[in-house]
């Protein structure tokens, strides 16, 4: 036998990558991007206190990180008014999603998510043999009531809901989500992905106790705090559920520099306010570029703007390809009817100006090609 003895499940899965990174796209096109506006990174950089802490802490990177992330969990517990036992720190939300699915999903177990929602969650479910059941968006919004109803219909063990949503940028009030929890079937756990909640209007964060056994909430330092490259996030949940992560997690997976930066970021309210102001300015600029070109920007509570290109997915993919060809990296939703849109991350004004220059050129080229 010349190949590894893969499990039957792994043998059945295709080798796929949920997102092709901008670096690979640059290698494929043979040139760097002039505007990196596709990966929902914070192009304005880390909040200042985090950057300063990393510069100070770099001399200690010869040490493994604290396997319990004690200082960070302590700081987060103070912010959220809970015990450190309600908090698990991990390698970003993606890493925590993978661990949670491993804890809960066995082959054949069902999960419910929105068709076209964050694909990395589906990637983890498939890897552990789970069955994915989808519910369509409702007017570009995820639909909590339909998600929970469908979970009851199929006996799902997990429901995934992002608020605010990726890839559409839409959002529900936290109070509405908390009220809808009454429809969640017994024994089903809601994964509430709040990766973008710092960017959202007041009242978007769900007023749910960390001890509520029905919910695990996930947050990240990748978006508003500008630390995507450090891969650090956390989850809030019932203490018994949080403790179960210790059975399977990589106990030294969160690096020391990420922990130091995150602790500083939690305390940098002024720096966070600055980044949120910059994100809001960029959202307004991107939305105006869309309107200037006859397209409709969706209202956004995130660090990106989703733009309705006004036709179908074929048209939107062609527009995206022309933008990439011109050195402007953006992405788009994968599933119809949301794939009629492109998605543009917030970034510095110079990069938004690149998008403003490239978009009319891309639209003109695609329309000319369609006219034959």
Pairing, β 341-345 against β 304-308: antiparallel
For the domain 48-267, what is the CATH code?
A: 3.40.640.10
* Burial class of residue 115 in the structure, from the number of CB atoms within 10 Å of its CB (0-12 exposed, 13-18 middle, 19+ buried): middle
pLDDT tens column, 129-173 = 999 999 999 999 999 999 999 999 999 999 999 999 999 999 999
Which residues make up the CATH 3.90.1150.10 domain(s) of the chain?
A: 19-45+270-371
Question: Does 185 score more than 80 pLDDT?
Answer: yes
CATH 3.40.640.10 residue spans of the chain: 48-267
Residue 2 has pLDDT above 90, yes or no: no
What are the pLDDT digits (tens) for 193-221? 999 999 999 999 999 999 999 999 999 99
Confidence at 84, pLDDT banded by 50, 70, 90: very high
Whole-prediction pTM value? 0.96
Q: CA of 222: how far to CAs of 94, 147, 186, 248, 263, in Å?
A: 11, 27, 33, 23, 14
Side-chain half-sphere exposure of 122, counting CA atoms within 13 A: 17
Q: Report the C-alpha gap between 36 and 42 in whole angstroms.
A: 10
Nearest to 263 by CA among 86, 81, 77: 77
CATH no. of 19-45+270-371? 3.90.1150.10
DSSP 145-181: HHHHHHHHHHT-SEEEEESS-TTT-----HHHHHHHG
Task: Report the side by side order of strands in the sheet with 131-135.
Answer: 87-90, 233-236, 215-220, 189-193, 158-162, 110-114, 131-135
Place of tokens 């307004």: 284
pLDDT at 1 over 60: no
**Helix extents (H) in 58-91:** 70-80
| 46 burial type by CB count under 10 A (0-12 exposed, 13-18 middle, 19+ buried) | buried
């Amino acid at each position: 036998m010349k190949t590894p003895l893969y499990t039957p499940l792994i043998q059945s899965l295709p080798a796929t990558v949920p997102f092709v990174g901008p670096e690979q796209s640059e290698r494929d096109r043979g040139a760097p991007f002039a505007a990196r506006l596709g990966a929902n990174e914070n192009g304005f950089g880390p909040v200042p206190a985090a950057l300063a802490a990393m510069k100070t802490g770099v001399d200690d990177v010869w040490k493994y990180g604290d396997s319990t992330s004690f200082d960070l969990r302590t700081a987060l517990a103070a912010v959220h008014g809970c015990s450190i036992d309600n908090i698990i720190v991990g390698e970003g939300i993606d890493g925590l999603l993978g661990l949670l699915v491993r804890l809960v999903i066995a082959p054949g177990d069902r999960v419910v998510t929105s068709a076209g929602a964050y694909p990395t969650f589906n990637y983890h479910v498939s890897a552990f043999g789970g069955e994915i059941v989808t519910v369509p968006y409702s007017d570009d919004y995820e639909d909590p009531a339909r998600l929970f109803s469908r979970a009851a219909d199929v006996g799902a063990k997990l429901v995934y809901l992002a608020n605010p949503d990726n890839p559409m940028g839409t959002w529900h009030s936290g109070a509405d989500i908390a009220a809808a929890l009454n429809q969640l079937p017994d024994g089903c756990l809601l994964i509430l992905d709040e990766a973008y909640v710092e960017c959202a209007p007041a009242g978007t964060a769900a007023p749910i106790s960390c001890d509520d056994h029905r919910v695990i909430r996930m947050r990240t330092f990748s978006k508003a705090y500008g630390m995507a490259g450090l891969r650090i996030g956390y989850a809030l949940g019932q203490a018994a559920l949080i403790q179960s992560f210790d059975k399977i997690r990589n106990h030294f997976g969160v690096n020391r520099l990420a922990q130091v930066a995150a602790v500083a970021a939690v305390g940098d309210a002024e720096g966070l306010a600055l980044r949120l102001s910059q994100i809001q300015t960029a959202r307004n600029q991107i939305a105006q570029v869309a309107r200037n070109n006859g397209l409709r920007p969706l209202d956004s509570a995130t660090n990106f703007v989703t733009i309705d290109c006004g036709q179908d997915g074929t048209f939107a993919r062609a527009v995206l390809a022309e933008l990439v060809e011109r050195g402007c990296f953006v992405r788009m939703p994968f599933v119809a009817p949301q794939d009629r849109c492109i998605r543009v991350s917030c970034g510095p004004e110079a990069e938004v100006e690149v998008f403003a220059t490239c978009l009319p050129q891309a639209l003109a080229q695609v329309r000319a090609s369609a006219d034959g």
